[in-house]
Amino acid sequence: MDEPKDHAGLDAGDGVPDRPTSVTSSPGHGDDHPGYDLIKLSPFEQRVHKVFIGPDGLRPVWRFLLYLLMYHALRLGVRVLISSALADTPRIRLLLLVELGFCVIAFVPALVMARMERRPFGDYGLPLRYAFGRLFWVGAAWGLLALTALLLALRAAGTFHIEGFALHGTRTLKFAVFWAVFFLVVGVYEEFFTRGYSQFTLTRAIGFWPSAVLLSVGFGILHLGNLGETSVGILGAIAIGFFFCLTLRRTGTLWFALGFHASWDWGESYLYSVPDSGTVAPGHLLQTSLRGSNWLTGGSVGPEGSVFLFMLLALLWVVFDRLYPGVKYPALPPKEMANSAL
């Protein structure tokens, strides 16, 4: 039998009626407890509640959709800003500002979700303690060497030709630095948006590899708006994205993938001056050409649409699998993973 509760600062004659200390059921309080019916959920409400709420609060799939909703709302704001305030900005500078804006709208919703989920932002793949550390630079070396190997294969096949320099003097360094910064920003945006918060959250809902497949397809879809892009080029982007998922799985962070991504794009667009996802960048270093069958050269897409790309990615997968055999992602306690179903 519960002991009577005193009301602080009140005497028994003050006329304060006794009332239950809780309206939820607990040991000693059955469904007939006064006030219980006020909050008791109906069977239908219980089913709806279970759809949205799990042991850790809002279920991962709804968190992912909430993240996307905030992202697209902010993206609309970026579009309005570009069309109004930045309409007269030189194109090459506008490209960088747009990518910086995309970084912001990918990160801000994730910061909101990190606060809501009460977890460190670094759990989403980009821990600051590893920023531009060994994994980043190893990834950058892999990216540039892999691209070089691809273009050497195209040169051996007689399809890739270097005809001279397109830049001279200080413009060489100027554009080298600009495109390095630009593609670093591109890498941060695309890697975090498709394999940062999204991969972390969907992994808790449906598992790592199903999420990797889904988000790699999304990575390919991001390239649909590129001029000169083709269906084979989209498949190439999906395959590259899937390889980046492997690097996340085995290193535990996105820093390797980010370094690879940035150096690959920089090498294509500036150093080797070939089309990157269907786009030839202004201010490229060399005068080059790709001549031959589209299945070899990639056609308007460039090397990312070449059959050699898929052969290269298969080789990279095997080598990376051997060098990084251990699984390090997701770094979540087993109990939390067990409670993270749809």
Q: Judge contact between 52 and 62, C-beta under 8 A.
A: yes
Distances, alpha carbon 22 to alpha carbons 4, 38, 53, in Å: 14, 11, 22
Question: pTM value?
Answer: 0.83
Q: Domain residues of the chain, as ranges?
A: 127-338
Q: What are phi and psi for residue 15, nearest 5 degrees?
A: 80, 20
Cβ atoms within 10 A of the Cβ of 61, count? 18
Q: Judge contact between 261 and 334, C-beta under 8 A.
A: no
Q: Note down pLDDT in tens along the chain; length 342 residues.
A: 444 444 444 444 444 444 444 444 444 444 555 555 556 767 766 777 677 677 777 898 999 999 999 999 999 988 888 878 777 788 888 899 999 999 999 999 999 999 999 999 999 999 999 999 999 999 999 999 999 999 999 999 999 999 999 999 999 999 999 999 999 999 999 999 999 999 999 999 999 999 999 999 999 988 887 777 888 999 999 999 999 999 999 999 999 999 999 999 999 999 999 998 888 899 999 999 999 999 999 998 999 999 999 999 999 999 999 999 999 997 554 455 445 545
- pLDDT in the model for residue 43: 77
- pLDDT in the model for residue 339: 52
**What is the SS3 assignment for the chain?**
CCCCCCCCCCCHHHCCCCCCCCCCCECCECCCCCCHHHHCCCHHHHHHHHHHEECCEECHHHHHHHHHHHHHHHHHHHHHHHHHCCCCCCHHHHHHHHHHHHHHHHHHHHHHHHHHHCCCHHHHCCCHHHCCCHHHHHHHHHHHHHHHHHHHHHHHCCCEEEEEECCCCHHHHHHHHHHHHHHHHHHHHHHHHHHCHHHHHHHHHHCHHHHHHHHHHHHHHHCCCCCCCCHHHHHHHHHHHHHHHHHHHHHCCCHHHHHHHHHHHHHHHHHCCCCECCECCCCCCEEEEECCCHHHHCHHHCHHHCHHHHHHHHHHHHHHHHHCCCCCCCCCCHHHHHCCCC
Distances, alpha carbon 135 to alpha carbons 163, 252, 263, 281, 330, in Å: 35, 10, 13, 28, 17
Residue 289 CA, chain-centre distance (Å), reads 33
Whether omega for the bond prior to residue 330 falls within 30 degrees of 0, making it cis, is: yes
Position 290: which residue type? L
User: Rounded CA gap, 4 and 83, in Å?
Assistant: 68
